[in-house]
Amino acid sequence: MTQVDERFDAIVVGSGLGGLVCAAYLAAGGQRVLVLEHHDIAGGNSHVFRRRRRYEFDVGVHYLGDCGPGGVIPAILGGLGLADRVRFREMDRDGFDRTVLPDAVVDVPVGWDQYLKRLEEALPGESAGLRTFAAVCEAIAEEMRSLLLTSDELTAIELMKRTPETARWGRRTLDELFTECGFSPKARTLLAAQSLNYGMSPSQVSVTTHATVTDHYLRGAYYPVGGGQMLGASLVEVIEAHGGELRTSATVTRILVSDKQVTGVELEDGTTLAAPVVVSNADFSRTVLDLVGPEHFPRSMVTKTREAVPGWPMVVLYVALDRELTGLPNANLWWHRDNDIDGAYARLADGLTDEVPFLFFSFASLKDPDTRTVCPPGHSNFQIMTLCPPGYASWGVEQGPTAGERYRRNHDYRTEKDRITEAMLVAAEQAIGPFRDSITHLETATPLTQERYTRSTGGTPFGLASWGSAGTRPERMPVRGLHVVGQGTRFGCGVMAVMTGGVACASTILGRRLLPEVHAGAVLGDPTLLPERDENWDPLRVSRGTARRGAKGLARIGGAR
C-alpha cells in the first residue's frame, strides 16, 4: 500500500490562470484545495520576471479585451471578491492595434461597425466581402457569448436554434470564409494580421476562434495595472484566504487512478497526496500520455492526443531602452513584411529565415506608465514576438528540457538563437526605426524556454491547434474525478478563455452555473478575508505561496513595492 501523506477535497496540478481561477472558486465554495506548481512562481503564462533591478517583463499578458462594465474578466474576478483589487487601464479606443502592411496602415478601433469602416477605407472594392465577413464573425461571437452567459440548460435542438451562424460556419476554417468572401491576399493579411493572438494560420484556425478572439478585443482593449502578475497574485490571495494552499517548486510526476477513479497525485520526491478530484492545468497531451497514462483512456482518445497538432511556437525578444519611445500610440503594433499571410505561413513551415515575415510589438511602458517596476522614468520596456517552426531539430536539440536535456550551452542552440535574434532586430528597426544604440537589456526566449517553464508540448504558448476533427477540443474526461483546464481545452487559448474554462470546471465540480451568477453580480468569495496590501506588497512574493514567501532569491526593483 502507498503511504498517503495528506488528503484534500481537490488538487489542482499547475498554476496557470485556468487552474488558479478553478481553485479559487472551489476554495470559495468551501472545498479544501491544494495547487501544485513545478515552477517557483505561480501564474503560468501570466507571470513576470525581473532583470537588472530595473525592469519587469510580462511573459504572456500583452493585452486583455472586454474588461469594461459587463466584461467577462471583471465578472470572474468580481465573483471572487477581487473587483477593487485588480484594475485595468484602457488602451487607445480609436486604435488599440495598429496593423502595418507595405501599402496600408489600419488602426483597429473599438466596435465592429468602426472596425468595418476602417477596413473598407483600406480595401476599396472589397466592401461586399468585408460586410459578409464582419456579419458572420459578429454573429458567431454574439452567439457564443450568449451561450457562455446563459443560465438555461439547453437541449441539442435548442442549442442549434440559438446558434445558427455558428452551426453554419463555426467549425470551418478562416481560410474557407476568406474564400467565400472572395478576398485578395492583402485583405486576407489585414484580417488575419493578429493571428499571433492564437498561434494558428488561416488554414488552421476555426472561424469561431477568430471571431471570438476578435470580438473580445473589439469590446475594448485593456492592460492590468501593475502587470500580468497582478492576476495570479490576486487569485492566490483568494485561495489562501479561503483555506486553500499553493505549493510552488512542487513537481507532480503522476496523477493516480484506481478503477477509473482519480485518487490523488504523486510528487517528484515520492510524496503521495490524496483527493477524489484532480484538475490538471498541465499541458493536455502531457496530462493524458504522461501524468495519467494512456492505459486509462479509450484508444481513440489516445490516438487523437498522440496525433494532435500544437499551436505554433514563438520567439520573444524582451527589450529595454534608456530612452522613451516617441510618436507611438498606446497600441500594439502588428508589422507584416508583405501582403501575403498565407505565403508567410507556408514559408515559415520550412524554417524562420533572416527575413522575418511578421512581428508583434507590445509596449508595456506605454500601457502601464505609472507602475514603478516596469522601467525607470525615461526608459522603455517592450517585447517583440514572432512565430517559428515546431520541433527541436532547427535548435540542435534532440529531446527537449522536459525530458531533462540541457540545451542552454548547446553550441547549435546558441548559434540559432543569436541568428534569429539578429533577424528580429533587423525587422523591428524596419518597423519602428533605429533603437539598438539605446538598448540596456536584451533577452531572447525560444520555444525551449517556454517548454522549460510550462512543460508545454512543442514549446507553444497556445495549446492545441487541432485535436481530432476540425474545431474540436478536449472537454469531458473518461476518468471519474479528473478534469482539465488551460490552453488545450474546450475554451481555447488566451487569458479570458482559460479563465472562463477555470470557472466552467469549478461549475462542474460544484454543480452550479457560476459564470451567469457572477456576471449578474453575485460574489461568492468573501473580500473581508483578503489580506491588506501595504506599500511593500509584491505580487511576485505572494505568487510563491505561503511556505516559500520568505525564501531567498526573489529579485526586487530598486526599492519599489
Flag whether pLDDT at 431 surpasses 80: yes
Q: How far apart are CA 121 and CA 390, in angstroms?
A: 37
Please provide the size of the chain in residues: 561
Q: How far apart are CA 402 and CA 478, in angstroms?
A: 26
Tens digits of residue pLDDT in 181-219: 999 999 999 999 999 999 999 999 999 999 999 999 999
Bridge partners (DSSP) of residue 483 are: 279
Please report the pLDDT score of residue 553 as a whole number: 81
* In contact, 317 and 383? CB cutoff 8 Å: yes
Query: Which H or E element spans position 237?
Result: helix 229-241
For 65, list phi and psi in degrees, rounded to 5.
-105, 165
Residue the block writes with cell 505554433: 312
Q: Count Cβ atoms below 10 Å from residue 203 Cβ, excluding itself.
A: 13
Q: Is 505 helix (H, G, I), strand (E, B) or coil?
A: helix
Q: Is 107 helix (H, G, I), strand (E, B) or coil?
A: strand
Please report the pLDDT score of residue 467 as a whole number: 83
Q: How far apart are CA 420 and CA 417, in angstroms?
A: 5
Residue the block writes with cell 473589439: 218
* In contact, 506 and 25? CB cutoff 8 Å: yes
Residue the block writes with cell 483555506: 243
Residue the block writes with cell 539598438: 436
Confidence of residue 464 (pLDDT cuts 50, 70, 90): confident
Q: How far apart are CA 194 and CA 200, in angstroms?
A: 10
The CATH code of domain 6-88+225-307+463-548 reads: 3.50.50.60
Burial (CB < 10 A; 0-12, 13-18, 19+), residue 389, is middle
Query: Taking the model in full, what pTM does it have?
Result: 0.95
Q: How far apart are CA 549 and CA 40, in angstroms?
A: 10
Confidence of residue 561 (pLDDT cuts 50, 70, 90): very low
Look at the alpha carbons of 456, 460, 463, 467 in this order and tell me if their dihedral is positive or negative: negative
Please report the pLDDT score of residue 158 as a whole number: 75
Bridge-based pairing state of the strands 10-13 and 33-36 = parallel
Q: Count Cβ atoms below 10 Å from residue 550 Cβ, excluding itself.
A: 9
Complete edge-to-edge strand list for the sheet that includes strand 10-13: 245-247, 33-36, 10-13, 278-280, 482-484
The cell for 161 is 436554434
Helix axes 207-218, 127-149, angle to 10 degrees: 80
Q: Is 262 helix (H, G, I), strand (E, B) or coil?
A: strand
- The rounded percent of the chain whose pLDDT value lies above 70 is 98
Confidence of residue 560 (pLDDT cuts 50, 70, 90): very low
Query: Which H or E element spans position 385?
Result: strand 380-387
Q: How far apart are CA 113 and CA 138, in angstroms?
A: 10
Spell out a b/e string for 128-143, using b for 16 or more CB atoms within 10 Å of the CB, else e: ebbeebbebbbbbbbb
Please report the pLDDT score of residue 476 as a whole number: 83
Confidence of residue 1 (pLDDT cuts 50, 70, 90): very low
Please report the pLDDT score of residue 414 as a whole number: 96
Tens digits of residue pLDDT in 278-295: 999 999 999 999 999 999
Query: Which H or E element spans position 157?
Result: helix 156-162
Bridge partners (DSSP) of residue 362 are: 383
Query: Residue 557 gets which letter from DSSP?
Result: -
Flag whether pLDDT at 250 surpasses 90: yes
* In contact, 339 and 186? CB cutoff 8 Å: yes
Please report the pLDDT score of residue 475 as a whole number: 75
Domain extent listing, the chain: 6-88+225-307+463-548, 109-219
* In contact, 120 and 214? CB cutoff 8 Å: no
Please report the pLDDT score of residue 556 as a whole number: 84
Average pLDDT over residues 40-59: 95
Tens digits of residue pLDDT in 75-117: 999 999 999 999 999 999 999 999 999 999 999 999 999 999 9
Please report the pLDDT score of residue 2 as a whole number: 56
